[in-house]
Amino acid sequence: MHASLCDLITDLVQNSFEADATEITLNIEETEKNLNVIIADNGKGMSAETLEKAKDPFYSDGLKHQHRKVGLGLPFLFQTAETTGGTARIESEENVGTTISLNLDPSNVDLPMFGNFATAAVTLMTYGFNGNLAIKHSVNGKSYEVSKNELAEALGDLNDLESLTLLKQFIASQEEELGTL
Ligand SMILES: Nc1ncnc2c1ncn2[C@@H]1O[C@H](COP(=O)(O)OP(=O)(O)OP(=O)(O)O)[C@@H](O)[C@H]1O
Ligand SMILES: [Mg+2]
């Protein structure tokens, strides 16, 4: 189950990791009227047929969860949009990449809670993934950007305990500036 939108976002970026992407961008733009999330990757992409199947909650490629052939990421994406009057779109091309956009009304009462993005960002930045992940988070016009490549350059191995502490502090300070913490 998805407890929060941050869980959903984490799942979608994880799909990009699993699609062998080397460049992923995650852009979250929040205003009082709009919550916009765009995730773009240059991974293996999906054929039209796979994409159709992937929207179905009873389809998953069957390789990952041998006992649960049910994917959660994309079905929850569409379900969240449908139940709250928002929109979810996927554009994907095989061997080129995938772009997912989600547009939601933040005031809709059926919207799942947003969750803690600072924690989600740290999880994503320290995930065992060799490519680059660039995150931009913007709230009512204020924003910050951070990329995995820049972080690794400044902090070294992000799974090193000291670097991890600095990473957590850095993300928390950026989120504090946005007023989310
Ligand atoms: N960014 C992407 N690039 C390429 N294929 C994707 C991408 N996102 C999803 N897919 C395809 O869609 C399928 C369904 O994705 P979904 O996240 O719903 O389930 P899953 O990843 O298979 O399982 P789960 O997320 O529950 O661990 C994936 O198995 C994969 O084949
Ligand atoms: Mg998934």
pLDDT greater than 70 at residue 162: yes
Model confidence over 140-159: pLDDT tens digits? Answer: 999 999 999 999 999 999 98
- Domains delineated in the chain: 5-178 (3.30.565)
The Å distance, Cα 25 to ligand 1 centre, comes to: 17
Ligand 1 and 45: CB distance under 6 A: yes
Q: Is the dihedral of CA 79, 180, 125, 161 positive or negative?
A: negative
Lowest mean pLDDT, pick from 1-5, 86-90, 160-164? 1-5
Tell me what pLDDT residue 62 has: 58
Nearest protein Cα to ligand 1, atom 19? 71
Ligand 1 and 72: CB distance under 6 A: yes
Counting beta carbons within 10 angstroms of the beta carbon of residue 38, is it exposed (0 to 12), middle (13 to 18) or buried (19 or more)?
middle
Model confidence over 76-105: pLDDT tens digits? Answer: 899 899 999 999 999 999 999 999 999 999
Instruction: For residue 45, give the ligand 1 atom closest to its CA.
Output: 4
